[in-house]
Structure 1
Amino acid sequence: MKNINNYDLNLLNVFRLMMQIRSVSKVAQKLGITQSAMSHVLNKLRAQFDDPLFHKTSHGMEPTIRAQELYETIIDPLENLTRALQITHVFDPLASHRTFVLGTSDYLEKLILPKLVRYLSNTAPNIKLKCTNYDDTKLSKELQNVDFVFGRYSNPAENLYQQTLWHDKFITLANVNHPRIRNKTISINEFINEQHILISPTGVGTSLVDKQLAKLGYKRNVMLTTHLFNTPIEIIETSDMITTMPERLAQYSSDTSKINFITPPVNLEPFEISMLWGPFKHNDPAHKWMRKTILSIAKQGQTS
């Protein structure tokens, strides 16, 4: 049995045209090559199949019996392949029943999901969303089991794609009627002596605030640790505890008439919130559409 690797399959298209047109000059013109180049291709075909394939007659180039047998064998697969290569997959959101899996936190869900669900209900009513917590340690596994993950990623794996959605910064929140905090600023001593709610999405029990305080030789009084972002806001509105969290979510979620927004007394750098996805779905038209949709929603009116 002859090895297919020894054959130049690109020549099959030339052979197909020769069988259909029966003219060296016309096939050369259709392919955009010179007649001498076409003759060279024919010689390669003849050598490849060990047969003359075509004879010149007064009626044009007539195929040999071997050529006719080859044509009958390859024409259907070749036509199917040609059609497949010409197919452009166009994504229709109205007709799609796709389920997209989003790896996120309640911070991102609060800021993205309401708008996204409203948009999909009109534009893609059969598309489903599934939100799941996503461990950052899985980012090296090319995100095959989720469509997107959202969060702060300063140095994701090189094989992942990244799109910045927005910029945010940290703000300290206190009840507007807090007995000791009345201004928009607070000293570091006042800060560490208050009762804090620590938000730790990973559950490790420390945060950037604690790391910055430790550098200065301080430790705050943490009374409650939670992995959620939204619960502390409700507690702050009805207690004397304070918390430090992303400003964008605080502005979006809180009753600003009940909350005092305070500049933290330690240096907390602004940060980017990004959307990541893996290489396997990068060129998928449905995935491209959803990426564009999420980015558009993230940019709409900031927190509106």
Structure 2
Amino acid sequence: MNEPDLNLLVALDVLLAEKSVAAAARRLRLSASAMSRTLSRLRETTGDPLLVRAGRNMVLTPYAEALRERAQDAVLEARAVLRPASPALDIASHRQVFTLRANDGFVEAFGPTLIAEAAKIAPGVVLRFAPKPEKTDKPLREGRVCLEIGVPGEMGPEIRMQMLFRDRFVGAVRRAHPLARQETVSIEQYTLWGHVIASRRGHAAGPVDESLAEAGLSRNIAAIVPGFPAALAVARKTDYIALVPASFLLNPAVDDTLHVFALPVKTAPITISQMWHPRMEADPAHRWLRQFVRESCRQLMMGETRQAYPDE
């Protein structure tokens, strides 16, 4: 009986994920010609072309599409089986790089505290914050990310999820803004000024506009920027009002330059969660990471805002 070469399984997983011989070669640190030869062997082994050219790009065959998740699961399971058995976790001497995928606002507000506390508890642990250009569970499924942090998007049904805290939107203006002299901002004052909106997809309307519409009012959207840091930068230099999550203002540098006020309209709370793939559920180091992130975030939110968030 001819046993298949199981080394091909790793190459198959990467090829199906990247849909490109060149990209797969870079990820596996192989030459393009070596990767092409591996693809030829995979085609011979499976009896299917797997990747075929469509214009300038390569696309998966129907058989390859059906194999993609199975190949990924098989590789992850094989790695778990071959991982050395570890004794009880001693986090103080543990060495590992954990990758957390989060937006800029979370990294600026919570990153310094998480990094500082991790250095005290586990000096061998490195927290690597990766950018989050879109909401997707692909990095979790492919094992490239340990935790996804933010508002849950279109995650697969298998993805585990735990609430970190509840956030809320607030208004922010520069210190010299006329609204900074008001104890409270009325809905009429709020709609009198121009607004800068943070939207990765360029959308202008949001929950605030829905609440204003119920009162028969609207606001003047003067600018749209891709993220909250940019919105606050605009607010510092203009008389525009920025709308940001309260947690983003935990950054002292932000708080010193801006006046923050409660919105004159109600908006639904924002649930910030951490998400992970179920294969990491029982991993001792990953369990520690989840508990560490959860407790650190909640303590920071309660300590800085003096507002307790319900435990779920």
Aligned to 1:220: 219
- Could you state the TM-score of these two structures normalised by the residue count of structure 2? 0.59
Task: Give the deviation of 1:101 after TM superposition.
Answer: 1.8
The 8 Å contact of residues 165 and 272 in structure 2, kept in 1 or not, is answered as yes
Task: Give the deviation of 1:261 after TM superposition.
Answer: 2.6
Aligned to 2:242: 243
Q: What does 1:1-304 align with in structure 2 at a 5 Å threshold? A: 89-122=87-120, 123-133=122-132, 135-138=134-137, 142=141, 144-153=143-152, 157-179=156-178, 182-214=181-213, 216=215, 218-253=217-252, 256=255, 258-302=257-301, 304=304
- Could you state the TM-score of these two structures normalised by the residue count of structure 1? 0.61
> What is the identity, as a one-letter code, of the residue corresponding to 2:163?
T
- More divergent stretch after superposition (144-153 vs 250-259): 250-259
Partner Cα separation in structure 1 for residue 115 and residue 269 of structure 2: 28
Task: Give the deviation of 1:115 after TM superposition.
Answer: 1.4
Partner Cα separation in structure 1 for residue 140 and residue 215 of structure 2: 37
Task: Give the deviation of 1:126 after TM superposition.
Answer: 4.9
Q: Deviations over 1:73-92 (max 9, x none)?
A: xxxxxxxxxxx9xx554334
Alpha-carbon distance change, 294 to 230 in structure 1, aligned in 2, over 3 angstroms: same
> What is the identity, as a one-letter code, of the residue corresponding to 1:289?
W
The 8 Å contact of residues 96 and 124 in structure 2, kept in 1 or not, is answered as no
Larger radius of gyration: 1
- DSSP 3-state at the match of 2:181: coil
Partner Cα separation in structure 2 for residue 90 and residue 155 of structure 1: 35
> What is the identity, as a one-letter code, of the residue corresponding to 1:244?
L
- DSSP 3-state at the match of 1:268: coil
State the 4+ residue runs in structure 1 displaced beyond 6 angstroms. Answer: none
> What is the identity, as a one-letter code, of the residue corresponding to 1:171?
V
Identical pairs, percent: 21
> What is the identity, as a one-letter code, of the residue corresponding to 1:120?
A
The 8 Å contact of residues 233 and 250 in structure 1, kept in 2 or not, is answered as no
Task: Give the deviation of 1:287 after TM superposition.
Answer: 1.0
Partner Cα separation in structure 2 for residue 298 and residue 187 of structure 1: 31
Q: Deviations over 1:165-212 (max 9, x none)?
A: 122211111233323663243343432331211112444444332343
Q: Deviations over 1:131-159 (max 9, x none)?
A: 22152243797474321111123896432
Task: Give the deviation of 1:118 after TM superposition.
Answer: 1.5
Task: Give the deviation of 1:105 after TM superposition.
Answer: 0.6
The 8 Å contact of residues 184 and 263 in structure 1, kept in 2 or not, is answered as no
Give the count of matched residue pairs. 221
- More divergent stretch after superposition (113-122 vs 154-163): 154-163
Partner Cα separation in structure 1 for residue 210 and residue 160 of structure 2: 29
> What is the identity, as a one-letter code, of the residue corresponding to 2:182?
N
Q: Deviations over 1:17-61 (max 9, x none)?
A: xxxxxxxxxxxxxxxxxxxxxxxxxxxxxxxxxxxxxxxxxxxxx
- More divergent stretch after superposition (112-121 vs 218-227): 218-227
Partner Cα separation in structure 2 for residue 296 and residue 180 of structure 1: 35
Alpha-carbon distance change, 126 to 164 in structure 1, aligned in 2, over 3 angstroms: closer
Runs of 5+ unmatched residues, structure 1: 1-83
Partner Cα separation in structure 1 for residue 297 and residue 281 of structure 2: 20
Partner Cα separation in structure 2 for residue 126 and residue 140 of structure 1: 21
Partner Cα separation in structure 1 for residue 280 and residue 262 of structure 2: 41
Partner Cα separation in structure 1 for residue 142 and residue 226 of structure 2: 23
Partner Cα separation in structure 2 for residue 285 and residue 156 of structure 1: 24
Task: Give the deviation of 1:111 after TM superposition.
Answer: 2.4
Alpha-carbon distance change, 165 to 238 in structure 1, aligned in 2, over 3 angstroms: same
Q: What do you get for the CA RMSD once the two structures are aligned?
A: 3.3
Partner Cα separation in structure 1 for residue 103 and residue 112 of structure 2: 14
Alpha-carbon distance change, 216 to 142 in structure 1, aligned in 2, over 3 angstroms: farther
Partner Cα separation in structure 2 for residue 176 and residue 101 of structure 1: 37
The 8 Å contact of residues 89 and 285 in structure 1, kept in 2 or not, is answered as no
Partner Cα separation in structure 1 for residue 139 and residue 129 of structure 2: 21
The 8 Å contact of residues 97 and 128 in structure 1, kept in 2 or not, is answered as no
